[in-house]
């Protein structure tokens, strides 16, 4: 069962699926500021990433990934899993996920939405193209959820947007705030007015002059263009529990992020302030209140020199100007990446809480916490993506891997079932090339390299030699500094192999490509798919992936390379599965390091580098 909130009759926590008090989970959103792109987001069962070329990838539950659906899409149990990132679309600028509803702002400013549309969150008038049924227990009618599987355009001229599980808010380039979803959560009326029921299924203009918005489950916080902070509903800042109308709370504010009945506020002097409930120590003030009854309505300062921050359901994270990543709050199931596996309970326990900001990483520029409080992502200054926490559905994008495991018991009909899943206790490198921007709108990670149509100086004679030997397909004769894709690499490998061994007649087919070169190389074991009978032909390869394919190619040509341990300074960064293949490349001399004794396993691999190493494979085989 995937949707815990829907199937829960009893919830026995064996190793950590903690809840905020005994209530249902609610979801939070990092600060959504006009002009700032959010390039990493993670929801309940899926995660998304945008690279420096504005390509949008997703990993996790296949039902949520457009154009990559697998399995029976009419039940929660039927969907397949993508445990590695798969390409979703080009020209993506900013993303936001909440539970199983998703949105992306494209480079032209258009906002596209898809996913669970039961509450009208997609904003397309309530339309859907699929129904998912979930068991409600023996003798009960199943729940039905209405899904829009393919993205639809909702608004133009969008600068930023924020999602919760009940409504969505978008800031347009003119500063106007538009909202849709559950009507009772849209602040165009007195909070709690029961006459506002049903769904607002298309965007509705609510305010002008807004530069930042963050959605909670039952409330919203905005920062206006004059720097004033306003809240409505339940945000943890109202003495009586909620604000009936938009209420001005503070001035000189840059951004705000709402958690579950608490919020984080960044002021103009880059100090971070917290207010609200403190059940798991999520306010970072050194205390925790397991009952969830104590509420700190007045914001208190937690950190200085903050450049980026986020809140989860009962935790928070912040990046300071020196690149330090601090986390605090609920750390159940390694949700904060501090290296500890803490078993959860139905109520907070001290050992499950970090009550003060705790540093877990250096050289960080961005962080994201999801809405289920047991996972997180960080982007480092070099553009590499790091992740931690629950990886049950491949949400981390590293092959459903983890360094420990957790389990959860739940009721399904009259039976109690237990599900085990991998958990990553501390940050692990996922992929390179993620783009991020700062609160000032400036790029924080390396820009996409310019693509030179001609070979680099070092590669010019090598490329000319390979072309002279008819080893470079015409389609790859150009843009030599461009990162090579999996399909393009297969084209080079197939050309080299068939020049020596003759035509490959066997085929291994995939659902997402009919490329003959891919099918040939898969048939002889040079390459493999990414799962679910997919190949992801357009995905760029990394250096460690290239090492694996080149080693397999040498073996297919009749000269296997002996295994050996690599001896690079960054050996610890090489994925476990790739270690022997990188060792083979170093021993054979087919691939070299990148300087300073490093191999840079997650670095990109270009066309000209691929051509050069194809010639190196040929030289090795001919020795």
Contact 231, 223 (CB under 8 A): no
pLDDT digits (tens, 9 = 90+) for 122-177: 999 999 988 888 777 777 888 888 999 999 999 999 999 999 888 999 999 999 99
Mean pLDDT of 577-593: 93
Lowest mean pLDDT among 22-26, 329-333, 336-340: 22-26
Give residue 8's pLDDT band: very low, low, confident or very high (50, 70, 90): very low
Give residue 19's pLDDT band: very low, low, confident or very high (50, 70, 90): very low
Rounded alpha-carbon distances, angstroms, from residue 565 to 579, 583, 596 = 7, 5, 18
Lowest mean pLDDT among 36-50, 183-197, 498-512: 183-197
Confidence (pLDDT) at 350: 84
Mean pLDDT of the chain: 85
Q: Is 352 helix (H, G, I), strand (E, B) or coil?
A: helix
Copy the structure tokens of residue 557: 């040509």
Mean pLDDT of 361-384: 88
pLDDT digits (tens, 9 = 90+) for 84-132: 888 899 999 999 998 889 999 999 999 999 999 999 999 999 999 888 8
Pick the CATH number of 4-431 from 3.30.60.50, 1.10.540.10, 3.30.110.60, 2.130.10.30: 2.130.10.30
Confidence (pLDDT) at 17: 28
Confidence (pLDDT) at 9: 22
Contact 313, 27 (CB under 8 A): yes
pLDDT digits (tens, 9 = 90+) for 263-290: 999 999 999 999 999 999 999 999 988 7
- Tell me which of 80 and 359 has the higher pLDDT: 359
Lowest mean pLDDT among 251-260, 420-429, 444-453, 611-620: 444-453
Query: What size, in residues, is the chain?
Result: 623
- Tell me which of 422 and 463 has the higher pLDDT: 463
Could you give phi then psi for residue 298, rounded to 5 degrees? -90, 125
Lowest mean pLDDT among 14-28, 78-92, 218-232, 304-318: 14-28
- Tell me which of 326 and 72 has the higher pLDDT: 326
Confidence (pLDDT) at 489: 97
Beta-carbon count within 10 A of 533 CB: 13
Confidence (pLDDT) at 499: 95
Contact 365, 348 (CB under 8 A): no
Give residue 32's pLDDT band: very low, low, confident or very high (50, 70, 90): low
- Tell me which of 327 and 20 has the higher pLDDT: 327
Give residue 56's pLDDT band: very low, low, confident or very high (50, 70, 90): very high
Mean pLDDT of 50-64: 89
Question: Beta partners for 267?
Answer: 253
pLDDT of 21 above 60:
no
Whole-prediction pTM value? Answer: 0.75
Quote the CA–CA distance of 394 and 458 in Å, as a whole number.
39
Domain(s) labelled CATH 2.130.10.30 in the chain stretch across 4-431
Confidence (pLDDT) at 211: 93
pLDDT digits (tens, 9 = 90+) for 436-459: 876 666 666 665 555 567 888 889
pLDDT of 343 above 70:
no
pLDDT of 359 above 60:
yes
pLDDT of 237 above 60:
yes
Quote the CA–CA distance of 8 and 373 in Å, as a whole number.
18
pLDDT of 292 above 90:
no
The H-or-E segment that residue 356 falls in is: strand 353-361
pLDDT digits (tens, 9 = 90+) for 460-510: 999 999 999 999 999 999 989 888 999 999 999 999 999 999 999 999 999
Mean pLDDT of 223-237: 92
pLDDT of 67 above 90:
no
Contact 33, 162 (CB under 8 A): no
- 414 closest CA partner among 128, 10, 126: 10
């Amino acid at each position: 069962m995937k949707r815990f909130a829907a199937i829960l009759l009893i919830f026995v926590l064996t190793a950590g699926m903690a809840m905020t008090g005994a209530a249902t989970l609610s979801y939070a959103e990092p600060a959504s500021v006009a002009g700032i792109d959010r390039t990493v987001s993670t929801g309940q069962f899926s995660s998304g990433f945008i690279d420096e070329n504005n390509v949008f990838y997703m990993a996790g539950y296949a039902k949520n990934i457009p154009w990559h659906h697998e399995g029976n899409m009419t039940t929660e149990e039927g969907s397949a899993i993508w445990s590695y990132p798969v390409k979703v679309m080009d020209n993506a600028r900013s993303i936001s996920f909440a539970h199983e509803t998703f949105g992306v702002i494209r480079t032209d400013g258009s906002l596209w939405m898809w996913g669970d549309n039961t509450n009208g969150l997609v904003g397309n008038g309530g339309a859907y193209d699929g129904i998912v049924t979930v068991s409600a227990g023996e003798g009960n009618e199943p729940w039905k959820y209405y899904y829009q599987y393919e993205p639809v355009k909702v608004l133009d001229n969008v600068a930023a947007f924020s999602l919760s599980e009940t409504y969505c808010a978008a800031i347009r380039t003119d500063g106007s705030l538009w909202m849709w979803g559950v009507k009772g959560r849209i602040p165009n009326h007195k909070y709690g007015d029961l006459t506002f029921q049903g769904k607002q299924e298309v965007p509705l203009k609510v305010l002008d002059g807004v530069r930042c918005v963050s959605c909670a489950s039952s409330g919203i916080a905005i920062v206006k263009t004059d720097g004033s902070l306003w809240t409505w509903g339940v945000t943890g800042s109202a003495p009586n529990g909620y604000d009936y109308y938009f209420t001005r709370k503070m001035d000189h504010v840059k951004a705000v992020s709402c958690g579950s009945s608490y919020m984080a506020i960044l002021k103009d002097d880059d100090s971070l302030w917290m207010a609200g409930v403190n059940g798991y120590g999520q306010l970072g003030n050194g205390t925790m209140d397991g009952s969830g009854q104590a509420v700190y309505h007045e914001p208190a300062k937690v950190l200085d020199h903050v450049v980026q921050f986020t809140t989860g359901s009962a935790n928070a994270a912040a990046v300071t100007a020196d690149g330090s990543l601090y986390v605090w709050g609920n750390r159940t199931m390694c949700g904060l990446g501090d290296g500890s596996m803490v078993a959860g309970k139905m109520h907070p326990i001290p050992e499950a809480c970090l009550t003060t900001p705790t540093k877990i990483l250096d050289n960080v520029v961005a962080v994201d916490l999801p809405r289920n409080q047991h996972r997180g992502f960080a982007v480092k200054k070099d553009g590499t993506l790091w992740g931690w926490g629950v990886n049950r559905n491949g949400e981390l994008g590293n092959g459903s891997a983890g360094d420990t495991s957790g389990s959860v018991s739940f009721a399904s009909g009259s039976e109690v079932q237990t599900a085990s899943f991998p958990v990553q206790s501390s940050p692990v490198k996922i992929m390179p090339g993620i783009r991020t921007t700062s609160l000032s709108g400036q790029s924080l990670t390396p820009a996409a390299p310019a693509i030179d149509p001609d070979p680099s100086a070092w590669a010019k004679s090598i490329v000319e030699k390979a072309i002279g030997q008819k080893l470079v397909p015409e389609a790859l004769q150009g843009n030599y500094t461009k990162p090579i894709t999996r399909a393009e690499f297969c084209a080079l490998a197939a050309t080299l192999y068939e020049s020596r061994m003759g035509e490959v007649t066997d085929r291994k087919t995939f659902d997402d490509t009919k490329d003959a070169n891919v099918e040939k190389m898969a048939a002889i074991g040079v390459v493999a798919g990414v799962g679910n009978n997919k190949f992801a032909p357009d995905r760029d390869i990394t250096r460690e992936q290239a090492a694996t394919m080149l080693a397999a190619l040498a073996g297919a040509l009749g000269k296997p390379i002996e295994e050996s341990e690599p001896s690079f300074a960054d050996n610890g960064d090489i994925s476990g599965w790739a270690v022997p293949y990188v060792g083979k490349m170093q021993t054979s001399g087919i691939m070299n390091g990148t300087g300073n004794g490093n191999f840079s396993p997650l670095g990109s691999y270009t066309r000209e580098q691929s051509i050069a190493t194809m010639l190196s494979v040929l030289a090795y085989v001919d020795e």
